[in-house]
Amino acid sequence: MSFQQTLHDVQHKLKDNQLDGWLLYDFRRSNPLACQFLEIAPETNLTRRFFYLIPQIGSPIKIISIIESHLLDHLPGEKLTYRSWPELEGHLARLLSDKKQVAMEYSPRNAIPAISKVDAGTIEMIRSYGIEVMSSADLLQSYTSTWTAFQLQTHRNALKILEESAQLAWKLIADKLSTSQKVTEYDVQQFLLNCMKEKGCITSDPPICAVNAHSANPHYTPDAKHFAEIRPGDFILIDLWCKQNITHAVYADITQVGVAAETPTMWQQTIFSVVKEARDATTRFIHENIENNLPVMGWEADQVSRDVITEAGFGNFFIHRTGHNIGEEDHGPGAHLDNLETHDERLLLPETCFSIEPGIYLPNEFGVRLEYDVFIHPDRRVEVTGNVQNSLICLGEYK
C-alpha cells in the first residue's frame, strides 16, 4: 500500500471513529511508532520537534523546525516551519482551532505503556487549545503491526528453524545424559544460538534453558558464569525466538517443556494439563469469535486463560500476560493478550500475529509455559502456525 493509499484509509478510519484528525509527534525518536508510520528511515537525524496532522478531510499539514525543513519532504502535505517556540505553538493553535478530538500516541492512565509515547507536557499543550486527546492505539496497529505475505513466510521459515533447533537441543541433552557426560543450561543455550546462526537467523536475546526451580522464573537466563547442570530426573524448559536476518523479516517464538525421565511425575503432569487447557481454551475463544466476525480485545483473550488457571487453584502462580504481539521485534507494538500487567483494550486484528503462552510457576519447584504463535488471516481465519505441544517431552530414564 502506498502512503497516499494509507492516508485515504486513515481518513476513513478517522471518520468511522468520529475523530477530527490524527496528530503525530516526535522529538529525537521519542515516538518510534510515529517514525515507523511516517516511513522515516532509521539513519535520519532527528533533533527537533515535529508534528504531522492527518485531518479527517483534506490534506495533511507538517510543522517542522526550519533547521530540519527537509525532514518530511517524502510525505504529502503543506509545510509550516518554525524558528521559535512561540511560532511552533502559534502554528498548532491555528491548525487545531476547528478541531475537537484528535488521536495521539497516548494511553489514558498509561494503561498500555507501549502506546504512551507522547510526553505529558506535549499532551498538556494540545489540550490547552481545547482539544480532547484520544488514543491512537487501535488506529496505529493497523499500520505498524500488520504483516505482508512476505513477512508471514519469513515467520514460517523462522518457526521451522526454531522447531528443528529445539528438537536437536532435546536430543543433545538425551545423548549427553545417556553417556554420563556433563551438560548444562548454558551449553544448551549456546547450542541453540549456534543452530539459529547457522540457519541465517538473529535473535534479540539469547534463548532460555532452565531446569527445575530456574524454570519457575519466567525470564531466567543462564550465562557463562551462572548456570545449572542438567541431571537425570530434571524438569526442563526451553524458550527460543528468532527471525531471518533479512529486511522486514518477523519473529517466531516458541516454548517447550520436558523431563529427563521416562515419565513425568503426577504433579508435573497436573500442572502441564492445566496450562495446556488454558492455552487451548484461549485459542478456541479467539477462533470462535474472530471467525464469526466478532471483535476480540487483548484483555478478553487473556482473561479466558487466566480463568482456567485460577479455577484450577493456581491463579497466583500465573504471573505474566497470556501473550504478546509479534512483529519485526519479538514483542511487537500491537495488541497484547493482557489483563494482568495492563488492561489491553486493543482489538486482535486480521494480518497480525501474537503468542499464546500461559504458564504456572511454582517457586523452588518448576514452571510450565506452553507457547505457540497465532496468525489471523485477512479473511479472519485463525491459524496456529506450529509448535503444538500436547504432552510433556520425556527423554528417558538415565542412571
Together in a domain, 137 and 177: no
Together in a domain, 81 and 160: no
Q: Residue with C-alpha cell 474472530?
A: 290
Q: How far apart are CA 276 and CA 282, in angstroms?
A: 10
Together in a domain, 120 and 160: no
> Quick check: 92 pLDDT over 90?
yes
CA 236 to chain centre: 25
| pLDDT digits 0-9 by tens, 32-54 | 999 999 999 999 999 999 999 99
Mean residue pLDDT of the chain comes to 96
Together in a domain, 109 and 167: no
Q: How far apart are CA 365 and CA 235, in angstroms?
A: 9
Q: How far apart are CA 153 and CA 160, in angstroms?
A: 11
pTM: 0.93
Together in a domain, 122 and 163: no
Q: Residue with C-alpha cell 503468542?
A: 355
Q: Is residue 26 part of a domain?
A: yes
Q: Is residue 399 part of a domain?
A: no
The residue that leads in pLDDT, 236 or 2, is 236
Q: How far apart are CA 241 and CA 37, in angstroms?
A: 25
| pLDDT digits 0-9 by tens, 108-121 | 999 999 999 999 99
Range of the domain at 19: 1-142
Q: Could you give the count of Cα atoms lying within 13 Å of 173 in the half-sphere of its Cβ?
A: 35
State which of 142, 158, 173 marks the end of a domain.
142
Closest by CA to 381, choosing from 304, 288, 296, 297, is 288
| pLDDT digits 0-9 by tens, 328-379 | 999 999 999 999 999 999 999 999 999 999 999 999 999 999 999 999 999 9
pLDDT value for 397? 57
- Contact in structure between 177 and 171 (CB atoms under 8 Å): no
pLDDT value for 232? 96
Together in a domain, 333 and 272: yes
Give the residue-averaged pLDDT of 247-264: 97
- Contact in structure between 358 and 370 (CB atoms under 8 Å): yes
Cell digits of residue 394: 520425556
Q: Is residue 398 part of a domain?
A: no
Q: Residue with C-alpha cell 514483542?
A: 331
pLDDT value for 398? 53
Cell digits of residue 206: 539469547
pLDDT value for 396? 85
| pLDDT digits 0-9 by tens, 193-223 | 999 999 999 999 999 999 999 999 999 999 9
Together in a domain, 376 and 252: yes
**Residues pairing with 326 in the sheet:** 353
Q: Is residue 321 part of a domain?
A: yes
> Quick check: 281 pLDDT over 50?
yes
Q: How far apart are CA 132 and CA 128, in angstroms?
A: 9
> Quick check: 158 pLDDT over 50?
yes
pLDDT value for 399? 46
User: In this structure, are strands 252-259 and 393-394 parallel, antiparallel, or unpaired?
Assistant: parallel
Number of domains in the chain: 2
Together in a domain, 99 and 161: no
Together in a domain, 81 and 99: yes
Closest by CA to 396, choosing from 173, 169, 168, is 173
Cell digits of residue 378: 485477512
Together in a domain, 126 and 205: no
State which of 142, 170, 198 marks the end of a domain.
142
Q: Is residue 397 part of a domain?
A: no
Longest dimension (CA), the chain: 79
Q: Where in 227-346 does DSSP place strands (E)?
A: 235-244, 252-259, 325-326
